[in-house]
């Protein structure tokens, strides 16, 4: 029973966070919030990139090499092909090869 309450709590808080900005700016979006809406997406994606790489250890072997190589590879393929699906599949494949076979 306790677990049901905890899961419900997690659910309600998560939903609350996602709805809160929509509820308070329902009528008219202030210019400042619209501005944030424009500039935040690239900034947040940048943040998420770092967030995903936060556990990479640069001080011990292999010094983050698999992540560095695979990340550069994804960016390179994206610049070349402009197709996210291809970049992600190719990059993940390269990363799996790197950590399972090479490093």
Task: Centre a 10 Å sphere on the Cβ of residue 97 and count the other Cβ atoms it contains.
Answer: 13
75 binds another protein (CB under 8 A): yes
Cα 1 → chain centroid = 34
Query: For residues 8 and 63, which CB has a smaller minimum distance to another protein in the complex?
Result: 8
27 binds another protein (CB under 8 A): no
Q: Footprint of another protein on this chain (CB under 8 A)?
A: 2-3, 5-11, 13-15, 17-22, 25, 29, 32-55, 66-67, 70-71, 74-75, 78-79, 82, 84-85, 87-89, 91-92, 95-96, 98-100
């Amino acid at each position: 029973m306790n677990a049901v309450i905890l899961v419900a709590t997690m659910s309600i808080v998560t939903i609350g966070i996602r709805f809160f900005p929509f509820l308070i700016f329902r009528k008219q979006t202030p210019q400042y919030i619209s501005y944030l809406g424009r500039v935040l997406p690239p900034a947040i994606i940048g943040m998420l990139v770092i967030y995903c790489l936060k556990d990479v250890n640069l001080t011990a072997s292999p010094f983050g090499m698999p992540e560095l190589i695979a990340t550069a590879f994804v960016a390179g393929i994206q610049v070349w092909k402009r197709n996210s699906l291809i970049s992600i599949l190719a990059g993940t494949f390269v990363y799996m090869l790197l950590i399972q076979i090479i490093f």
